[in-house]
A and B are shown apart, each in its own frame.
Chain A
Amino acid sequence: MMKAMRVLVRHMRVFMKTWKHNLMYNVAEPLLYLSAMGFGLGLFVQEVNGVSYIEFIAPGMIALSGMYSATFECTYGTFVRIYYEKTFHSMLAAPVTITDVIWGEILYGAVKSILFGLVILGVIAALGLIKSPAVILLPLVLGLTGLVFAELAICFTALVKNIDYLNYYITLIITPFFLFGGLYFPVDALPPLAQTLNWVNPLYHSVELCRALCLGNLAPGLGMHAGILIGMAALASPFPVKLMERKIIS
């Protein structure tokens, strides 16, 4: 487990050479949503909860980037490292265990969430949409978001045999998370059942935290959102290694 850092270092070295290629999903996509929704739909929406529409949705884009970064890294990225590049095979020949390798993957997902989330934060700050110094806590939220989504992604990746099945995860799980996660409209606009379901949507909690930190609405409910994310990360933590071990070690 301690040697997961060595695996992370390995990934970061590759990242230093390849980060330009994966700006696409992780940064471009949230910014496209922000401009289309914020500047387009924003013309028709007066105010949401006392702030302009673009101010309302901008923090959610940071959370979205955090979710995407960890998710894509630990689904497609991990799958490619297992089956196509055989990186797992080469790493496991070194003095590391499968536990180190899997936690290295998860940490990498979380680090990417922080880095790409901060890029979005930079853009949003440049647009003058940040209202509170509390935003300096944002890396913690991003790291936590990345951790949860990296764990989930690894679990799912461990269950599929074909890379095409990863699309199901994106379409059936990740997309609903972001459509209903309170990014584009407050969740109390949803029917009660959907509101209840949102409690198991990690992105919802992440969006609430990001929005509060960016706008400075530091309500007491925030601790609960953070607590739920931490709980989710802890609850999911045994499964990535267990599921992957079955797949990798014959």
Chain B
Amino acid sequence: MDNVIIAESLGKCFGAFRALNGVSFSVRAGECFGFLGHNGAGKSTTMKMIYGLSTVDEGILTLFGQSHRLTPPAIKAQMGVVPQEDNLDTELTVLENLETYGGLFGLSRREARVRAQELLDFMGLSNKAADNVESLSGGLKRRLVIARSLMNHPQLVVLDEPTTGLDPQARHLVWQKLRALKAEGVTLLLTTHYMEEASQLCDRLVLMHEGLILAEGSPPELVKKHMPPCAIEVRLPFDSLPQDFADKVTAAGGEVLRVADALFLYAVDGKKLWDQLDAWGVPRHACFLRAATLEDVFLKLTGRGPE
């Protein structure tokens, strides 16, 4: 079995609102697959269909080779879930949270305790085992939710914004752990608002917008396919630029992208464009020349910046 998840034209309506509008993608065993998209794009809706909190009303969702309207327990038993919102048992300690959750998977108390201790070790939470969950910082809670999702040795872990709200250290730690999981052959499916996270972790990703998938590929592929290699950020208010500036850039073979009040220029030969900026009345010290990134793809395809 090569594909752990195959989604074909998934659709979802909430009343008159269409949250998913024909979403198709597939996730191969052992890869890390990402979902990027604005708030409300439909990422969590897609994740919930996979982990059995939402029904597949339109299209077909195949998980581990089986298609169901609502993901059944036998499939959930092979899956780990990190939901967007932490939902730990606030009355219990860190260790008890894991043990209790293991019980839902049918682990005996002893099995659950052994596994919980392994995972506390793995996530660097051993010294917090007896702490109350309420007293943990956001980053530690998130790590605990990730540890919890691994209680059943899942083959597939679905992570809905695993690092939102974490400081850079905490985020890097989570990334390291996710890489370690991937190295063990675990398939990862994650959503994120961070381009860097997507670039660092994901083998392939999709860009989702208003219930649709706009693009799919590996981070470098996406950049190559959708962007010229060079980008120039113009850090001046749009209104203060010379009127014919955009036309001049276009005439010189560049692409212009306006996002809110900011301006981005893209070109195959960025240096050439850069050298002419002063002559066109845009001081170079207010500009920045760099290579195009995934963020530029996002800006271009979704028409506005990430939040």
Q: CB within 8 Å of B: which residues of A?
A: 3, 6-7, 9-10, 13-14, 17-18, 85-87, 89-97, 248-250
Partner of A94, one of B55, B85, B104: B104
Residues of B within 8 A of A250 (CB): 14, 48, 53-55
Once bound together, how far apart are the Cα atoms of A17 and B148, in whole Å? 20
CA distance A86 to B88 in the complex (A): 8
B123 contacts the other chain (CB 8 A) = no
Bound complex: CA of A7 vs CA of B79, how far in Å?
18
From B68-76, B193-201, B228-236, give the one contacting chain A: B68-76
Pairwise interchain contact B103-A93, C-beta atoms closer than 8 A: no
**Could you tell me which residues of chain B, from 80 to 137, have a CB within 8 Å of some CB in chain A?**
81, 83, 85, 87-92, 96, 99-101, 103-106
Q: Is B52 an interface residue (CB 8 A)?
A: yes
Give bound CA distance, A93 to B104, whole Å. 10
Binding site for A on B (CB under 8 A): 14, 48, 51-55, 70, 72-74, 76-77, 79, 81, 83, 85, 87-92, 96, 99-101, 103-106, 148-149, 152
Inter-subunit contact A10/B91 (CB<8 Å): no
Residue of B nearest to A86 (CB): B87
Bound Cα distance from A114 to B120, whole angstroms:
37
Distance, CA A95 to CA B53, complexed state (A): 12
Of the residues A6, A14, A85, A249, contact of B54 by C-beta under 8 Å: A249
A-B contact pairs, 17 of them (CB 8 A): A3-B106, A6-B103, A10-B104, A17-B91, A85-B87, A85-B89, A86-B87, A87-B89, A90-B83, A91-B104, A92-B52, A93-B52, A93-B149, A94-B101, A95-B74, A249-B53, A250-B55
* A3-B103 Cα distance, complex, nearest whole Å: 10
* With contact pairs A92-B53, A249-B55 given, residues A85 and B90 touching in the complex (Cβ less than 8 Å): yes
Contact for B81 among A3, A7, A93, CB less than 8 A: A93
Kindly identify which residue among B53, B55, B72, B92 contacts A93, using a CB–CB cutoff of 8 Å: B53
B91 touches A18 (CB 8 A): yes
Are B105 and A95 within 8 A (Cβ)? yes
Bound form: Cα–Cα A6–B104 in Å: 5
Q: Which 10 residue pairs spanning A and B have beta carbons closest together? A: A86-B87, A95-B73, A94-B104, A93-B81, A95-B77, A90-B87, A95-B76, A250-B54, A89-B87, A13-B100
Interface contact A97-B73, CB-CB below 8 Å:
yes
B253 CB to closest chain A CB (Å) equals: 48
How far in angstroms is the closest Cβ of chain B from A29?
Answer: 22
Residues from chain A with a CB closer than 8 A to the CB of B90 are 85
Main secondary structure of the interface of A (DSSP, over half): helix
In the assembled complex, the Cα of A18 lies from the Cα of B91 at a distance in Å of 7
Task: List A contacts of B79 (CB < 8 A).
Answer: 93
CB distance from A119 to the nearest CB of B (A): 21
Which of A7, A13, A91: most chain B Cβ within 10 A?
Answer: A13
- Known pairs A91-B104, A95-B77; list 6 more (Cβ under 8 Å): A6-B103, A13-B99, A85-B87, A94-B152, A95-B104, A249-B70
Known contacts: A6-B104, A10-B100, A249-B54. The answer to whether A94 contacts B76 by CB under 8 A is: yes
Q: What is the chain A residue whose CB lies nearest that of B79? A: A93
Give chain B residues whose Cβ lies under 8 Å from the Cβ of A10. 100, 103-104
Question: Hey, which chain B residues are within 8 Å of A97, CB to CB?
Answer: 72-73
Q: Is the CB of B85 within 8 A of A86?
A: yes
Assuming the contacts A89-B83, A93-B53, asked whether A7 and B100 have C-beta atoms less than 8 A apart, the reply is no
Alpha-carbon separation in the docked complex, A87 to B101 (Å): 11
Nearest residue (CB) in A for B81 is A93
A14 touches B104 (CB 8 A): no
A7-B104 contact in complex given A13-B96, A249-B54, C-beta closer than 8 Å: yes
Nearest CB in chain A to that of B132: its residue: A17
Write the nearest CB–CB distance from B85 to chain A, whole angstroms: 6
